[in-house]
A and B are shown apart, each in its own frame.
Chain A
Amino acid sequence: MNNKERGSIYAGIDIGSITAKAALIKDNRLLATHVILTGYDPINAGIKVFEALLKKAKISKKDVPAIVSTGYGRASVSFADKALTEIICHGTGAYFINPEIRGIIDVGGQDSKAILLNAKGQVENFAMNDKCAAGTGRFLEVMAKALEVELNQLGDFGLNADKPLKISSICTVFAESEVISMIAGQQKRENIIAGIHDSAAARVAILANKIKIKKPVMMTGGVAKNKGMVAALEKRLGLTLIVKDFAQENGAIGAAVLASKL
Chain B
Amino acid sequence: MSDKLPEKRKIKSAKKMRDIMTTYYLDAMTAKQNNRQVAWITSGGPVEPLVAMDIIPVYPENHGAMIGASKMGEDLCIKAEDMGYSSDLCSYARTDISCSIVKGGPLGGLPEPDMLICCNNICGTVLKWYEIQARYYNVPLFILDTPICHTQYSPEIARYVRTQMDEYIAFLETNTKKKFDYDKMARVGKLAYTAQLLWQKVLNTTAHKPSPMSAFDAFFFLALIVTLRGTQIAVDFYRQLLQEMEQRIQTGISMVPDEKYRLLWDNLPVWYRLKWLSEKFSGHNACLVADTYTSAWCGAIKYTDENNFLDSMAEAYTRIYLNIGVDQMADQVLDMIKFYDADGLVMHSNRSCKPYSFGQMDIMRIVREKTNIPVIMIEADMVDPRSFSQSQIETRIDAFMEIIKQRND
- Using CB atoms and an 8 Å cutoff, list the residues of chain A in contact with chain B: 72, 84-88, 111, 122-126, 128, 130-131
Contacts and interface: CB of A to CB of B under 8 A. Distances in A.
Interface of B is mostly: helix
Contacts of B403: 88, 122-124, 126
A87 B402 contact: yes
Interface stretch (B95-103, B263-271, B304-312, B393-401): B393-401
A86 B392 CA distance: 12
Task: Report, nearest first, the 8 A-B pairs whose CB atoms are least far apart.
Answer: A87-B399, A85-B399, A88-B402, A85-B398, A122-B406, A131-B389, A123-B403, A85-B395
Contacts, number: 39
Interface in B351-370: 368
Interface of B: 368, 374, 379, 389, 391-392, 395-396, 398-399, 402-403, 406-407
Nearest to A126: B399
Nearest to B392: A131
B392 A111 contact: yes
A72 B391 contact: yes
A134 to B, nearest CB: 14
B407 A125 contact: no
B406 A128 contact: no
Contacts of A86: 395, 399
A80 to B, nearest CB: 14
A128 B368 CA distance: 18
Contact of B402 (A84, A111, A125, A131): A84
10 contacts: A72-B391, A84-B402, A85-B395, A85-B398, A85-B399, A87-B402, A88-B399, A122-B407, A123-B402, A124-B403
Contacts of B392: 111, 128, 130-131
Residue with the highest number of chain A CB atoms closer than 10 Å, among B396, B399, B407: B399
A111 B389 CA distance: 13
A217 B406 CA distance: 22
B402 A128 contact: no
B406 A123 contact: yes
Given A85-B395, A88-B399, A130 B407 contact: no
Residue with the highest number of chain B CB atoms closer than 10 Å, among A84, A86, A111, A124: A124
Contacts of B374: 125
Nearest to B376: A126
Contacts of A88: 399, 402-403, 406
Contacts of A84: 398, 402
A128 B399 CA distance: 11
Given A123-B402, A125-B368, 7 more contacts: A84-B402, A85-B398, A85-B399, A86-B395, A111-B395, A122-B407, A130-B392
Residue with the highest number of chain B CB atoms closer than 10 Å, among A85, A88, A128: A85
Given A123-B406, A125-B374, A131-B389, A72 B399 contact: no
A225 to B, nearest CB: 23
A88 B402 CA distance: 7
B350 to A, nearest CB: 14
Nearest to A84: B402
A150 to B, nearest CB: 28
A181 to B, nearest CB: 27
A125 B395 CA distance: 14
B195 to A, nearest CB: 40
A214 B396 CA distance: 21
A122 B406 CA distance: 7
B385 to A, nearest CB: 13
A108 to B, nearest CB: 11
Contact of A72 (B395, B406, B407): B395
A85 to B, nearest CB: 4
Contacts of B399: 85-88, 123, 126
A128 B379 contact: no
Contacts of A128: 392, 395-396
Contacts of A124: 403
Contacts of B391: 72
